[in-house]
Amino acid sequence: MPIEVGHEFFERMEPHPHASHTEHVLTLLVRGRLRMEHGGLVEIGPGAVTLVPAGVPHRLLEGEGMEVWWLAFCASCVELDESHPLMSSFRQVRLGALPMFQLPPERLPYCVKLMQELQAEAAQSTPESFEVMRSLLLLLLREAKRAAPLDVSGGGEQSLVSDALAFIQQHSLEPISLRDVAEAVHRSPSYLASVVKNKTGYSVGEWISRSRLSEACSRLAHTDEPVDRIASRVGWNDVTHFIRQFKKAYGITPAAWRKENRMHGG
């Protein structure tokens, strides 16, 4: 199922190692507190929605007295990407915004109800479950967007970076370069390279590579394609170079990553 949902209780949560996921993850903290590292230290309290885009490193530091609802979804599997209006909050986070948005108190029971409906539908697993779960997901994304304090659709450099990253996400499996991205957003390559690096800390080339690696993770998790074929499909003709880049990004080889994530139901 491309959408997974869970409801968990933690009296105390111990620190987790640095991680990133192939799925986009939305977490709703009903009660308790949580501290996480996401660029900097983030303090999360009751009624907060936390968003972690696919491939973005983060670390859970500690938590106590927690009741948590979470959902993880493969964006491409549910026909979404970060250019979709309801995915704008995830795009904000990828661009450097805090990953935590505070829900208005009156919206919390509604969001919990949506999570409950998602869990119930996942348990039924009927032919129509996918469409029902996708609809419930969209309603939750709408709540997250309403709670988000920022709007990346505005003008200026932030909008330029947002447009560039959206183009990269949509076309990263094609043989694109900095020049192609710059042409798509109507800027010179040198200017775009400078703005993207200054605003995100990564170069355009690194963003292209990260997007391709994220797609590689999705294929490793959801298909039986051999590693060399996946490497070719996501833009690496040299499988050795692909494995080297994958290990640099995730700390393990693609084969080891596949084994570990399938072992844990990922």
Q: What are the tens digits of pLDDT across the range 207-236? A: 899 888 888 888 887 789 999 999 999 999
- pLDDT for 266: 45
- What's the pLDDT tens digit per position in 227-263? 999 999 999 999 999 999 999 888 889 999 888 766 5
Do 97 and 58 form a contact (C-beta atoms < 8 A)? no
HSE-CB at 193 with a 13 A cutoff on CA atoms is: 9
Tell me which residues of the chain have a pLDDT lower than 70: 1, 18-20, 22, 39, 149-158, 261-266
Q: How far is CA 151 from the centre of its chain?
A: 18
Structure letter (DSSP) for residue 134: H
Structure tokens that stand for 108 in this block: 């919390």
Q: At what angle do helices 129-147 and 108-124 cross, to 10 degrees?
A: 160
> Going by DSSP bridges, is the β-strand pair 3-13/24-38 parallel, antiparallel, or unpaired?
unpaired
The answer, as to whether pTM is greater than 0.75, is: no
Sequential DSSP letters for 7-69: EEEEEEE-----B--SSEEEEEEEEEEEEEEESEEEEE-TTEEEEE-TT--BEEEEEEEEEEE
First-to-final CA distance of the chain: 11
- What is the enclosing helix (H) or strand (E) of 181? helix 178-184
Please tell me the predicted confidence (pLDDT) of residue 59. 84
Instruction: Report the pLDDT value the prediction gives residue 151, as an integer from 0 to 100.
Output: 47
Residue showing tokens 């900095």: 178
pLDDT computed for residue 149 by the predictor: 67
Cα–Cα distance list, 121 to 118, 129, 134 (Å): 5, 6, 11
Bridge-partner residues for 49, per DSSP?
28, 101
What is the tens place of the pLDDT at every residue in 82-102? 888 899 888 878 777 788 999
